[in-house]
Amino acid sequence: MPNISQRAILLRTFRNNKTSAVGVLMTLMVVAVALIAPWISPYDPISQDMNVQHAPPSWVHPFGTDSYGRDQLSRILWGSRVSLVVGILSVLFAMAAGIPLGMIGGYKGGKIDNLVLRFIDVFMSFPIVILGLLVLAIMGPGLIKIVIAIGVALTPRIARLARGSTLSVKGKEFIEAARAVGQNDGKIMIIHVLPNILGDILVMGTLWVATAIIVEASLSFIGLGVRPPTPSWGAMIRDGLDQLTNAPWLSIFPGLAIFVSVFSFNLIADGLRDISDPKLRG
Amino acid sequence: MGCPYLSWERRMLKYTIRRMIYVLPTLWAVVTFVFFLIRIVPGGPAVAALGSYATEESIRELEKQMGLDKPILVQYATFLKDLCRGDLGKSLITKKPVSSQIAQALPYTLDLTIGGMLIGIALGVPIGIMTALKRNRSPDYIGRILSLVGISMPEFYLGILLMYILAIKLDLFPVLGGGDLHNLSSRLHHLFLPALTLGIIMTAFISRMVRSSMLNVLREDYVRTARAKGLRERVVIYKHALRNALIPTVTVIGIYMSILMGGSVLTEIIFSRPGLGKMMVFAVKDRDYIALQSVIIIFSAFVFLFNLLTDLLYSLIDPRIEYH
């Protein structure tokens, strides 16, 4: 475990890292939008008004209206909720499944490790979107199911990282010391291994949230997202695609929203990686 | 462990066989997983394909036609046997062999992924070198921000933007379709925008990778030695640093191909390219689980194949690798 002064240095480096700072700020804004969407949305995101179909951006409807005359801005603001909830929950799901798996494989070694490695290889052979699509095709659409589908697709990736980090911690003296005083494996993994590998995993965590947001958007673009009329960015782009020639704003604004959220998480991840790899610092 | 007495070709062959022995059981596990997952669809694939209004009779008939009425282990054995012969079964909807459908779609997807990878390498490697050499100066900042933009961009959104600007507004490229496979100019003309879409995203990934491995290599002793010997900077960079910096990049090309395969699904939908990705999404919509099962197996088989090729390429360019 890094001692206090090391932590202080890391914290200071993080604060001084402009990339991360901008990323944190942008992410907080996206999260704030999701939280206060009901109060800042100018219109009801699902109420239709057939008199203003495909209205171009204007002062009344800053991002225009869609084929049902629904206000695009309001739908985008509300849509942030689906993206963030799925993005964060699916990564938590994958961590809950992947960390124990990788840790046990790395710590126990031998046959168990081989089994874990095989599992990782099998599931890594599916591109994330394709595994997510397969799981959703079986279970049918719905918010919780999307979380499970993306979580399952991310699990082997997190397990692989957890396994690698565990291997590098395993040989350290404090683990041997714990074993020497007779602590059992489960206790050693939870008390000694987990806190030491969590740092690596959290650094990558922001990157995975970004990935999960893109995958959610992709799946709802394909039509496997939350059920309409609940607004989600991917589905909005798909609905807008048919109108690309006469109403391009229907695809452009929701896409921008996806990009901004993913970009802010990636900024944090980028900064964190610079910090955790001191050779690249500066 | 090296085998110093074997010729280079023999060692390479041995290495390839060793890798295959590891890959084949994993591929078998993938196939088995997909097979059983598909069979847990509520009501079974036949019910799903025909919809909940179908009569009992028509469901039984389809199940009989497709062999879905037999015990699951018998189905599994038949499935494996057919698979080894290259028979992927018949589509639940069109009743045609899935393998011929895949054979038609595959070239479109391979064109797209390989084209995307080539564009990514052609742009990503020079950008990565440049940003590393100009570290912490403005070209580096611009390059890094652009590459972050690239990896944050969903491919379907980038595809739509490119389509809107280059195909709809400027009318430079066809908006939809895959072109005629037997006509090279039509094929390339239709390929350009979708491949550019994936290529730009690949550029972002590759340039980041090249930059960081280049930075690592420039710190190495042999680069310092080369400079100390008084070699020209150009020689130091291209002869000593670059070759070593590219090695870690090659190792991840397999992973990038997997990202590209995933990205090709959505890119094909946007540009209406009749490839595997489009076939897969249609299979999901039609609830044609036999077609879905086959396409997914083919996708992962290609991921395995690309990984294997990457491993071999890696051992080719890095003489330090011992084939074990």
User: pLDDT tens digit string along A188-224?
Assistant: 888 888 888 888 888 788 889 999 999 999 999 988 8
pLDDT confidence of residue B64 = 79
Percent of chain B with pLDDT over 90: 23
pLDDT confidence of residue A6 = 65
pLDDT confidence of residue B109 = 93
Q: Does A278 touch chain B (CB under 8 A)?
A: no
pLDDT confidence of residue A7 = 66
| A119 and A174 Cβ atoms separated by less than 8 Å | no
User: Nearest by CB to B157, which of A122, A244, A258?
Assistant: A258
Q: What value does the mean pLDDT take over residues B37-55? A: 75
User: Nearest by CB to B154, which of A122, A128, A258?
Assistant: A258
- Give the distance from residue A248's alpha carbon to the nearest chain B alpha carbon, in angstroms: 8
- Mutation test of the interface with chain A: which of B157, B255, B288, choosing the one with the most A Cβ atoms within 10 A? B157
Contacts of A3 (CB under 8 A, 6+ apart): none
Instruction: Name the band, by pLDDT with cuts 50, 70 and 90, for residue A147.
Output: very high
Q: Does B212 touch chain A (CB under 8 A)?
A: yes
The model's pLDDT over A233-256, given as tens digits with 9 standing for 90+, comes to 999 998 888 888 888 888 999 999
The whole-model pTM stands at: 0.88
Chain B residues within an 8 Å CB radius of A282: 136
d(CA B12, CA A102): 32
| B89 and B292 Cβ atoms separated by less than 8 Å | no
Nearest to B17 by CA among B3, B31, B34, B37: B3
Q: Does A126 touch chain B (CB under 8 A)?
A: yes
Residue of chain A nearest B45, judged by CA positions: A138
With an 8 Å Cβ cutoff, are B270 and A263 in contact? no
Q: Does B48 touch chain A (CB under 8 A)?
A: no
The model's pLDDT over A21-70, given as tens digits with 9 standing for 90+, comes to 888 899 999 999 889 888 888 877 877 777 777 778 888 778 888 877 78
Q: Does B35 touch chain A (CB under 8 A)?
A: no
Tokens of A221: 């673009």
pLDDT confidence of residue A98 = 94
The model's pLDDT over B182-199, given as tens digits with 9 standing for 90+, comes to 888 888 888 999 999 999
Nearest to B38 by CA among B108, B98, B111, B101: B98
Nearest to A107 by CA among A168, A174, A158: A168
d(CA B264, CA B276): 9
Name the β-bridge partners of B97. Answer: B90
Contacts of A23 (CB under 8 A, 6+ apart): A206, A264, A265, A266, A267, A268, A269, A270, A271
H or E element: which one contains B218? Answer: helix B184-218
- Mutation test of the interface with chain A: which of B156, B163, B212, B285, choosing the one with the most A Cβ atoms within 10 A? B156
ipTM (interface pTM): 0.86
Q: What is the mean pLDDT of chain B?
A: 84
Q: What is the mean pLDDT of chain A?
A: 85
| B241 and B213 Cβ atoms separated by less than 8 Å | no
Instruction: Name the band, by pLDDT with cuts 50, 70 and 90, for residue B127.
Output: very high
Number of H helices, E strands in chain B: 14, 0
C-alpha distances (whole Å) from B1 to each of A98, A111, B251, B267 are 32, 22, 20, 44
Q: Does A18 touch chain B (CB under 8 A)?
A: no
Contacts of B256 (CB under 8 A, 6+ apart): B117, B120, B202, B205, B206
